[in-house]
Amino acid sequence: MEKRKDTLKRVIVDFKKLTPEILAMLVEEYPDGYGNRHIISFKNAKNELIEAVEIVSEDTKYLVKVSTKLVFTMENYDEDDYEAFDDDDPDAVQDPELTEEVEEDLD
């Protein structure tokens, strides 16, 4: 089993590139949201600190960057919102317009 994990393709996903398929996997894996114990911290190629949550599919390990927008989108997830889109369409997941009040509530 460990060998399979080592051979998975690794992909870092920013909110702008989040697809309905990855969002659905996130909501399934973390139905009550993710917490600090789920967050993985690492440095990218530019030596920037990245915080992400991990989702593993059959052939890919996704590291989805954590953000207020991600939390809001997961909390308001409804799969019906994405019926008209392909599972791999990054334009399907819209950037939520967060007010300062919403951002403070999510932090």
Q: What is the pLDDT of residues 22-77, one digit of tens each?
A: 999 999 999 998 999 999 999 988 999 999 999 999 999 999 999 888 888 888 88
Cβ-count burial of 19 within 10 angstroms (0-12 exposed, 13-18 middle, 19+ buried)?
A: buried
pTM given for the model? 0.74
Structure tokens at 39: 């967050």
DSSP labels, 2-63: HHHHHTSEEEEE-GGG--HHHHHHHHHH-TT---GGGEEEEE-TTS-EEEEEEEE-SSEEEE
